[in-house]
Amino acid sequence: MKQPGIFISFEGIDGAGKSSHIEALAAAFRGQGRVVTLTREPGGTPLAEKLRTLVLNDAMDPLTEALLVFAARRDHLQQVIEPALARGEVVVCDRFTDATFAYQGGGRGFDLAVLSNLELWVQAVPTLEGDFVRNPDLTLWFDLAPAVAAERLASARVPDRFESQPAEFFRRVADGYAQRAAHAPSRFARIDAALERDAVWQQISQVLVQRGWLGAAA
């Protein structure tokens, strides 16, 4: 019998250390025989990846930025996420709409009510019982003090438009995530990203085991 799809997103400020754990989670699911679609936002389709390049590199006003990330999301949902969930796959996504609330809403100070409207329009999924708004089943929120994240980023690659923002921007992004988490406490799992890598993975695996999505040995 086909298993229901599972939609998991990873979130956190730049430098919080999501990347290696995203790969590890996908591997853990595959090890249990699940088909995994590993994807990211902005991006995940040819069109959305083009929009990503614009958003990460070109100067634009905050509304344009918000519209482009939601346009990318619409294409990504229609082309990749919804079909994968319908096939009963596990979708693991590096960032989703919480990032828009944190970066465009918190970081840029863009109107949260407009973002909420866009979320309703862009993520509406029609069913026989009416529309629902697609959001992840679980969001692993890598929480890390902005100062620590900035130190980690300093030794990394050439910064994009977001990574080159001042510390104050990331403090607002972090607040944006905290607010969003407070509104959806059952969807968000806070991961203490200050711990060393193994301890971070232990937290993730514990959350997944608690939900019954991974076996205890993962």
Structure tokens at 155: 């030794």
Q: Does 94 bind ligand TYD (CB under 6 A)?
A: yes
Cis peptide bond upstream of 62, omega within 30: no
Q: Which stretch binds ligand TYD (CB under 6 A): 29-37, 93-101, 116-124, 180-188?
A: 93-101
Residues 6+ apart with CB under 8 A from 93: 7, 8, 9, 10, 39, 40, 41, 44, 81, 136
Find the shortest distance in angstroms from Cβ 100 to ligand TYD.
4
Number of Cβ within 10 Å of residue 57's Cβ equals 10
37 forms beta bridges with 91
Q: Is 45 in the site for ligand TYD (CB under 6 A)?
A: no
Query: Is residue 41 at the binding interface for ligand TYD, with CB under 6 A as the rule?
Result: yes
List the structure tokens of 72: 């990318």
Q: Of the candidates 112, 162, 179, 207, which one interacts with ligand TYD according to CB under 6 A?
A: 162
Residue 111 sits in the site that holds ligand TYD (CB under 6 A): no
Residue selected from 21, 74, 76, 95 as contacting ligand TYD according to rule CB under 6 A: 95
Task: Decide: is 100 part of the binding site for ligand TYD (CB under 6 A).
Answer: yes
Instruction: Check binding of 34 to ligand TYD (CB under 6 A).
Output: no
Please, what sign has the CA dihedral across residues 42, 43, 44, 45?
positive
Stretch that binds ligand TYD, among 82-90, 94-102, 113-121, 197-205 (CB under 6 A): 94-102
Residue (of 51, 55, 92, 94) closest to 74 by Cα position = 51
Q: Which residues bind ligand TYD (CB under 6 A)?
A: 14, 40-42, 69, 94-95, 99-100, 103-104, 162-163
